[in-house]
Amino acid sequence: MQQLADLGDTSGSKPGAIEVRDLSHVYDGVNGQVKALEDISMHVAPGKFTVIVGPSGCGKTSLLMMMAGLRAQTSGELLCHGAPIPQPDPKRVGVVFQEASLYPWLTAVQNVEFPLSLRNDPKTERRERALQMLALVGLEGFADRYPHELSGGMKQRVSIARGLVQDPPVLLMDEPFAALDEQTRMTMGHELLRIWSTTSKTVVFITHSLTEAVYLADEVLVMSARPGRIIDRIAIDLPRPRTYEMMATDKFGGLRERIWQQIRSAH
């Protein structure tokens, strides 16, 4: 419990890309109220890759939706680069969900440029930008394919390209690779790190895979079972760029073990 007191002190001296202070959330469900999140405080420095893990139902998606301006918290403060985020704003925060959620009637490039068309950007400009993003995620040559013509991993790449198209400084990802097979998932994680290192974005990433968490993160936040609280924060001090070989090291195993012990105690 001594840890918890330390964890509350997340203010840091530099302004965070994401700052959460004493955030709690209660849902009004049909069967009464559900306390989903309790006293969450966190500070994500700009450019950092933060991973959130925790038992199913502990409030990870709820927290991410609040960071994306898709849901308002019951109490507490949430700031993105110093300002609240009362509604979705893809220029400030991009979001990628577990399911690729592409529009089936639009091609890959049309899906990526969709957020830009909402802003009425000139057509040639937005097409060029969308094609750049498809190239960034390794999908040159697939711009005119429809979602049903793409594999699961490719659809998820299109989804990432769409999250990046407005060049938001913050990218939120909710189990983006959960539906993929292990090999594709590892490749996608590797690709994501490559994109992250070339775009220097702040990433907040949710996963149930502890290997993925250690492989990707600068810092892993572990949440307790509902109501979700942050019960541990673990610095992943493995060198970058990360390599597959690192996964076999004692250090990697030790970090994964520490997260696992915390999650077990979190139930």
Which residues of the chain form contacts with ligand ATP (CB under 6 A)? Answer: 27, 29, 34, 36, 54, 56-62, 226
SS3 235: strand
Q: How far is 112 from 253, CA to CA, in rounded Å? A: 38
- Least gap, CB of 56 to ligand ATP (angstroms): 3
**Residue 34 near which of Mg ion, ligand ATP, none (CB within 5-8 Å, type-dependent):** ligand ATP
Nearer to ligand ATP, 27 or 146 (CB): 27
**Residue 58 near which of Mg ion, ligand ATP, none (CB within 5-8 Å, type-dependent):** ligand ATP
Return the HEC string of 91-116: CCEEEECCCCCCCCCCCHHHHHHHHH
Contact present, 84 and 131 (Cβ < 8 Å): no
Nearer to Mg ion, 136 or 227 (CB): 227
**Residue 84 near which of Mg ion, ligand ATP, none (CB within 5-8 Å, type-dependent):** none
Helix residue ranges, H only, 165-202: 182-199
Query: Which residues have C-beta within 8 Å of that of residue 249, sequence separation ≥ 6?
Result: none
- Least gap, CB of 54 to Mg ion (angstroms): 9
- Least gap, CB of 58 to ligand ATP (angstroms): 4
Nearer to ligand ATP, 29 or 86 (CB): 29
Nearer to ligand ATP, 32 or 104 (CB): 32
**Residue 62 near which of Mg ion, ligand ATP, none (CB within 5-8 Å, type-dependent):** ligand ATP
Q: Is 241 left (phi over 0), alpha (psi -120 to 50) or beta?
A: beta
Query: How many C-beta atoms surround the C-beta of residue 267 within 10 A?
Result: 9
**Residue 48 near which of Mg ion, ligand ATP, none (CB within 5-8 Å, type-dependent):** none
Query: How many C-beta atoms surround the C-beta of residue 30 within 10 A?
Result: 4
